[in-house]
Amino acid sequence: MELQRRGAETTDMTTSSPPPFGRALCAMITPFTEDGLLDLDGAQALAERLVTDGCEGLVLSGTTGESPTTTDDEKAELVRAVVEAVGGRAAVVAGVGTSDTRHTIELAQEAEKAGADGLLVVSPYYSKPPQEALQAHFREIADASGLPLALYDIPGRTATRIEPETMLRLAAHPRIVAVKDCAYDLLGTQKVLARTDLAYYTGCEEFTLPLYAVGGTGYISTVANAAPRQLRGILDAFDTGDTAEAARRQRQAIPLIELMMASGLPGTVTAKALLGALGLPAGPVRAPLRPAGRETVDGLLAAYERLVAA
């Protein structure tokens, strides 16, 4: 798959490059065996299903992929396995972000060796670096490999916002090409969209259509683990010019989105619960996460079935 560079700040948005990783990306869970080991066969089977059902890219070892509890070796093994399964048909983006710049660089270089097409780098969490330090962190990582890089802005988890002015400066780096946007600041996002060619992917499924309608690129979705066709349908309807149908599909997906992403449980837990109920590769979550209860699973399954039948 040829990945396109999206580059520096510009005020002319009349033409734009193709999305660097496609439009419809899944933040893929990391399947484990029942005894908690990495399930590479399951990962390949799930990746195959997701790509067949409309995912144009897979993001591995993000929060949904339980990156805090997988080892560096497991992360590299997962990239190799998924590239073997779907490489060339979908972009494989490796989550490599940590609180340590040096460690993040090591993970980025290992992901490149393993065959990843791109990197997802979250802001350093807990340490709360100032904006100047944040810029240096991302630039050092972008300089350390030849892969295009997506910034992950999720201040609700990291306690540090990538401020719009910082985004504008980072957009000048030739390998910083995209953003996974979980900042819940549509105004700030539009300011950056208006002045750069960064590809903006929402990481909040309730914003799939709103962000796409103002020039966003698409989504990186946890819910897509279970309902890839249904989320892809929102983008497809909008692209045909049928905005009413796109809005209808967005509204239809909201009950499942709410149960998976706003029920008080991490999306990893709800995604694995639903995939398991559907007989798809998932396995348990790793501690400190705990599995969803029966009532939660039944609710997820009912919402999923209503969405698929709609």
The per-residue pLDDT for range 51-98, each reduced to its tens digit, is 999 999 999 999 999 999 999 999 999 999 999 999 999 999 999 999
CB atoms near residue 29 (< 10 Å): 28
User: Per the confidence metrics, is the pTM higher than 0.85?
Assistant: yes
**Is residue 243 annotated as involved in ligand binding?**
no
Q: Which residues are catalytic?
A: 152, 180
Per-residue pLDDT reduced to its tens digit, 18-38:
899 999 999 999 999 999 999
Per-residue pLDDT reduced to its tens digit, 255-265:
999 999 999 99
Nearest to 177 by CA among 200, 150, 152, 140: 150
What pLDDT is stored for residue 10 in this prediction?
35
**Is residue 64 annotated as involved in ligand binding?**
yes
What pLDDT is stored for residue 5 in this prediction?
31
CA distances from 67 to 27, 105, 237, 242, 285 (A): 12, 15, 33, 38, 11
Distance (Å, rounded) from C-alpha 108 to C-alpha 121? 9
